[in-house]
Structure 1
Amino acid sequence: MQQEHRHRLLDAGLRRWQVGEIAARIAHLYYAQYQRTADTALLSEAFVFYHAVLDRAYFQDADHHLAPAKHLRFLARFLLVALLLGRRSHTVPRLASDIRTLLDDSKKSFQDAEYKEWKHVVQEIARFLRADSPFMNMRPLRYSYAFDPPPDTLRTVPTTVKKRGLVLSDTILCSYYPNEVKFTDLSIDVFRMVQCLEWEPCGSFALNDGYSAHDESGQNQPNLLKDLRDAALPPNPLKTILYRPSVTHFLTVLSTKCEELPSNGIMLIYLSATGEMGTSGFCPDTGENVLSNFNKFDISSLSHTSSKENKEPCLWLGCRETEGSNCIYPGDLIPFTRRPLFLVIDSSTSYAFKSIHGTERGETSAMLLSPSSRSSAAGFSGDSTRHSGSQFTMFLTSPLQAFCLLLGNNGTDIDRDAYNKAEELLLLSLNEWAATLVASSSLHSIWVEVLGDPLLRRLLLRFIFCRATHSLFKPTNHKTEFLPTCMPPLPESVDAESMLSQSCVLRVASFFGAASQFSFAEVTTWPDVDSEEAVVTSSSGSANKGVPETARDSDISNSSSSF
């Protein structure tokens, strides 16, 4: 509109930089609305407006009118939108460079304190982009029809099984680690989870890289939303992002969300934070002690005393100077189990949240719990969260990349074709686990509901892959502190030691030539991984029923394909 009436606007005294400022405000409004509704079409609209302001250089001649801080805020907001949309090829590097250059050129315009704040932002951006590397963006983190099976093709439980048809409707994503990788208030782990819980747009906007149809000389499409919104896609679940909230604020938000949750809805709560072991004799290897202790814990008289003898394991959501207002205990969540909850706890004290199972107030909660320890021998150092994000969250959001990093492969030698082939093999394994789950007669009813929602289903299957990988990986083999857990328990047919899980992990490991790094009791190489005949190995040297041939791990490794 402003292009069509440019002369009238200029005659009225409106300057070019003011037009850009208005467009930038509109873009920010679209982004704020995206935060409230989770509609990625609004995020794409924000990108279009931001890109128009930058590409048409509306602020080029505004040096004397536009404060550098305001220009930097525009670039930083645009960068956040570009990151969420995955515009890593051109837009993100350009914006990061522009922010750094503008800050250096405008140093004299800032007070020392303000300059240091923006310098810290530049450093945050650099760390964030190192963690969000090109290898991590080989495929969309969102549910993509190009990589994930269409929902109408997913296997479901038999019609004879009672099912309520719960749908993921709302999510709370909360994260805090000291000195963690983040940009603004978005940590790298929450950044990945946000996208993992959305549907990848497949309309013309996505196909055209978002802005090729909107250049300086041309006019915008008459109905831009028609290009951006994919009517065939299910709506994204609502998302609330909390960074370093007080426990009071967190519980207030959770209470409100539970009240607003639709009758057929299920809420996902993601907590990623430093754990406090407590001083009650808790140990990651003795889950029974955790359950026993919490069974004696009277929830109705919830009072966390300062006595160190009775201190329970908790998560730190903020600095430790204000312990009472910043630590969250498993018992804090129990009153909200009157509604269906899907809990993802990524912390060294995640094991403590097992105590919730069996004490729910009405609805059984589904829980995915991270390992309590991270092994440096497993390719992730103990403080990896500060550099590249959580290993557990990475397995849930980017399982193939997490698998490669576990093997010590940073992806620099993996081309697009090889990556796509590996994704196909992983999808084949995930589908086999899914088929086994839906056919199981011992599958808990809450997991039946989870399998009915494509986004939650994908998280569950990736969790099974993560658990099987860590259980079979030699540096973490049979070490419970390195193994993720879930509640309620899944059927034994998908246990990490089952033949199905071993063959699924071997399929992917053999493709990377890494089968020898795993301890397989019964493994099978597959024709689509290796051109040679399928081989089965048994650590005891004897074949099981239905196993055609035995071999050693080294034989499998030598015959495996690699990059």
Structure 2
Amino acid sequence: MLMRRAEAGDHPAGRLRSLVEETKSAYPKTNFKEWKQVLQELGKFLKADGAYKGSRSLRYDNLFDSFPSNLASLARFHSRRVLKLKEAVLTSYRRNEVKFTELTLDTFRMLQCLEWEPTGSYQIAAKELTENGTISDQSGPSGLIDIHLSSEISDGSLPSNPQKAVVYHPTVSHLLAVLATVCEELSQDSILLVYLSASGFSEQNITSQKYASSSAYTRATSVYPIDKSNSNISSDNHLWLGPRGSGGPNNLYPEDLIPFTRYPLFLVIDSENSHAFKGIHNAEKGEPAALLLSPRIASAMPGAESTGNGSQFTYFLTAPMQAFCQLAGITSEIDSDTYANAETILFSALEQYEGILSTSVGLNNVWGQILPDPFLRRLILRFIFCRAVIFYFHPEENGEHMPTCLPSLPESVSPKSEAIMSPILELAENLVVSERFHFRHSIRNNKK
């Protein structure tokens, strides 16, 4: 899975399933409940990860994610202070989220999104392994899981990947301790990416309120209510990092992160309570933070049920083509030519967005100093795409459905801009889903 070799991953998964069944038959009195859970998790994970066949790798690929036409525009930022992404802390804590062992689907996608795609030697080595059925000499283990890679995977022409700490279901104190440790090791030209995907409500509140989730884990069109049982404690001003119960120890507040703004931070908050973290803006202790905040309510076609594809906002930031298809309600398999055309349209759209953003006069320096970094620039461009797609998905502008960023990006990349809207219309027409958006309504409003 980490190597994006879906075909190679299906074989050991099927073999594991067969071995469990054979062992159950041989030892009928043995309890295989834990193994059943492992197989269920693996099946859901592989299904969600492979929802759209033929999709590109989530890693940064210079062939598809780098736009030579904009290099001159980006070069102007190098005369100022430039920050590089060298460290990232990734965590996800939600009820019933898609995961395999201690790797959740959301953190898996973000993990992949912050790595370089190896070039030709990797693909050749993978093909030889598949066809010959042999295993070459092994390199060292990578990150979370001991995955053996062929020696040809190394590519001296690529920079090193950012260091990533994936924290599985942490307590608040554990997460803050990890952040403190990572911040201590930041160099002066570095910025720390913090990715938090979590609910804003405890399991106790979820059970007692009996409301439907607004995330992609259940029905995507409902709203989280605000628990007003305690007038002194607002339930929409924090993230919930805990298995059950309620109370302060499991609540992560925006104020908890403010001490870390002594260092440059790039915050991605994916939660129905993400709006609470707007309070970090202008309250920093030294370095102004860049924030990408998810919508309070996820969007979906009317009556659409959860498809178990993880958080919609994270999906857009890591796999925008697949996220667009999911939002538009495309459930049947797309033919390869149509999908390839859609990828080309998206490629051109992001190239155009990058050109507009990099030449904008009113670009805040918080974005300007991180725009030269390829990973962060790609996240920003995909945020612009995500915001515009959701804007045209709704007939009327609804703040709770819209993602936000702080500081604000220039008006030239706002959803109402013709240059931002046109590629999305072309993409929707290519996939024959333009009637599911509201382009005409928005165009009329723009002309008024």
Please indicate the TM-score interval, normalised by the length of the shorter structure.
0.7 to 0.9
Residue in 2 that maps onto 1:396: 317
| Distance verdict in 2 for CA 1:350–1:151, change over 3 Å | farther
Residue in 1 that maps onto 2:266: 342
Secondary structure at the counterpart of residue 199 of structure 2: strand
CA contact (8 A) 2:362 2:410 kept: yes
| Distance verdict in 2 for CA 1:458–1:411, change over 3 Å | farther
2:256 counterpart letter in structure 1: D
Matched ranges for 1:101-250 at <5 A: 101-107=18-24, 112=30, 115-135=32-52, 138-149=55-66, 154-157=71-74, 159=76, 163-209=80-126, 211-212=128-129, 215=132, 227-250=152-175
Q: Deviations over 1:471-499 (max 9, x none)?
A: 11136x41111110000000011111111
CA distance in 1, matches of 2:252, 2:126: 42
Residue in 2 that maps onto 1:310: 233
1:504 counterpart letter in structure 2: P
CA distance in 2, matches of 1:166, 1:318: 34
| 2:408 counterpart (489, 492, 500) | 489
Task: Give the superposition deviation at 1:110.
Answer: 8.9
2:113 counterpart letter in structure 1: C
Q: Deviations over 1:258-313 (max 9, x none)?
A: 000111111111100111399xxxxxxxxxxxxxxxxxxxxxxxxxxx96423351
2:156 counterpart letter in structure 1: A
1:264 counterpart letter in structure 2: D
Secondary structure at the counterpart of residue 84 of structure 1: coil
Task: Give the superposition deviation at 1:134.
Answer: 4.9
CA contact (8 A) 1:379 1:405 kept: no
Task: Give the superposition deviation at 1:227.
Answer: 1.2
Q: Deviations over 1:139-182 (max 9, x none)?
A: 10101134222679645446388521211001111001111110
CA contact (8 A) 1:143 1:199 kept: yes
1:400 counterpart letter in structure 2: M
CA distance in 1, matches of 2:35, 2:322: 32
User: Aligned pair count?
Assistant: 413
| Distance verdict in 2 for CA 1:473–1:183, change over 3 Å | same
1:482 counterpart letter in structure 2: H
Residue in 2 that maps onto 1:422: 342
CA distance in 1, matches of 2:335, 2:130: 32
Residue in 2 that maps onto 1:508: 427
Task: Give the superposition deviation at 1:214.
Answer: 9.3
Matched, 1:360 2:284: yes
Deviates most, 442-451 or 252-261: 442-451
1:340 counterpart letter in structure 2: P
Secondary structure at the counterpart of residue 382 of structure 2: helix
* TM-score, structure 2 normalization: 0.84
CA contact (8 A) 1:171 1:240 kept: yes
| Distance verdict in 2 for CA 1:271–1:111, change over 3 Å | farther
CA distance in 2, matches of 1:110, 1:132: 33
| 1:270 counterpart (181, 187, 195) | 195
CA contact (8 A) 2:90 2:166 kept: yes
Matched ranges for 1:23-42 at <5 A: none
| Distance verdict in 2 for CA 1:539–1:307, change over 3 Å | closer
| Distance verdict in 2 for CA 1:322–1:519, change over 3 Å | closer
Please, what is the CA RMSD of the aligned residues? Answer: 3.0
Secondary structure at the counterpart of residue 159 of structure 1: helix
CA distance in 1, matches of 2:190, 2:135: 44
| 1:448 counterpart (358, 364, 368) | 368
Residue in 1 that maps onto 2:444: 539
Which runs of 5 or more residues in structure 1 are unaligned?
Answer: 1-82, 279-305, 524-537, 545-563
2:16 counterpart letter in structure 1: I
Secondary structure at the counterpart of residue 377 of structure 1: coil
| 2:377 counterpart (442, 450, 457) | 457
Which has the larger Rg? 1
| Distance verdict in 2 for CA 1:104–1:454, change over 3 Å | same
Task: Give the superposition deviation at 1:225.
Answer: 6.4
CA distance in 2, matches of 1:152, 1:501: 18
Secondary structure at the counterpart of residue 88 of structure 2: strand
CA contact (8 A) 1:274 1:347 kept: yes
| Distance verdict in 2 for CA 1:329–1:155, change over 3 Å | farther
2:155 counterpart letter in structure 1: D
CA contact (8 A) 1:135 1:411 kept: no
CA distance in 1, matches of 2:332, 2:379: 23
CA distance in 1, matches of 2:238, 2:138: 52
CA distance in 2, matches of 1:218, 1:439: 49
CA distance in 2, matches of 1:435, 1:152: 8
CA contact (8 A) 2:300 2:327 kept: no
CA distance in 2, matches of 1:216, 1:403: 37
| 2:5 counterpart (73, 79, 87) | 87
| Distance verdict in 2 for CA 1:419–1:207, change over 3 Å | farther
Task: Give the superposition deviation at 1:230.
Answer: 0.7
Secondary structure at the counterpart of residue 309 of structure 1: coil
Q: Deviations over 1:113-133 (max 9, x none)?
A: 5x2111110111111112112
CA distance in 2, matches of 1:146, 1:134: 23
CA contact (8 A) 2:265 2:289 kept: yes
| Distance verdict in 2 for CA 1:429–1:155, change over 3 Å | farther
Matched, 1:261 2:186: yes
Task: Give the superposition deviation at 1:501.
Answer: 1.5
CA distance in 2, matches of 1:444, 1:357: 13
Secondary structure at the counterpart of residue 481 of structure 1: helix
Task: Give the superposition deviation at 1:207.
Answer: 2.8
CA contact (8 A) 1:135 1:410 kept: no
CA distance in 2, matches of 1:213, 1:413: 26
Secondary structure at the counterpart of residue 345 of structure 1: strand
CA contact (8 A) 1:124 1:181 kept: yes
CA distance in 2, matches of 1:390, 1:88: 21
Give aligned-pair identity as a percent: 43
| 2:295 counterpart (354, 371, 391) | 371
Task: Give the superposition deviation at 1:346.
Answer: 0.5
CA distance in 2, matches of 1:218, 1:243: 31
| Distance verdict in 2 for CA 1:85–1:210, change over 3 Å | farther
Task: Give the superposition deviation at 1:402.
Answer: 0.8
| Distance verdict in 2 for CA 1:271–1:129, change over 3 Å | same
| Distance verdict in 2 for CA 1:207–1:325, change over 3 Å | farther
CA distance in 1, matches of 2:303, 2:401: 13
2:389 counterpart letter in structure 1: T
CA distance in 1, matches of 2:262, 2:196: 19
Task: Give the superposition deviation at 1:433.
Answer: 1.3
CA contact (8 A) 1:128 1:183 kept: yes
1:443 counterpart letter in structure 2: L
